[in-house]
Amino acid sequence: MEIATFVLAIVGAVTGVGSLGWQVVTFNRSGPVVHVTATQAFPTYGNQVGDPHVDVTARNTGRSPVTVQSWGIELPDGQVMVSIQQLPWSASLPHRLEPGASASWYIETKAVQDECAKRGFRHQDVRAYVNLGTGQVIRAEGKWRGIGMQ
């Protein structure tokens, strides 16, 4: 009888820990979860390919909507570049990101490279970011940092 009680206690403990872990995961995913990437985009005009642009994309993989208030490129010294005039194919600001949705904003790659050269930075060291309505700043991470080109 003692062995059966011990086995049931272990099963209960494992089930409880598993349930607690699942609750932590679902709690963390219950709000907005935004990921930012920076890639290169080439606009096309009929059969003509335009100059490269940095494509800053924010994706909401969470379960709640969130608003993107602004976006930009952060330089290594902490200063930021923002685009005052939005390109026509950029999402409007502020932009509401529903669960599962994404939005993109664009700036000419040459403008970013020229500013980096003027300040003595490598363009690979800048980071794209978005400011959310919650007050959070989400920055591009890992291979999605920089301006999407090496």
What is the CA angle 129-132-135, rounded to 5? 110
Q: How confident is the model at residue 129 (pLDDT cuts 50, 70, 90)?
A: very high
Residue-level pLDDT at 45: 87
Residue-level pLDDT at 4: 83
Residue 72 has pLDDT above 80, yes or no: yes
Residue-level pLDDT at 11: 86
Beta strands (DSSP E) in 61-120 are 66-74, 80-81, 95-97, 102-108
Name the pTM for this structure: 0.79
Give the closest residue to 104 by CA, choosing from 83, 89, 94, 84. 89
Q: How confident is the model at residue 145 (pLDDT cuts 50, 70, 90)?
A: low
Cα separation, 136 vs 129, whole angstroms: 10
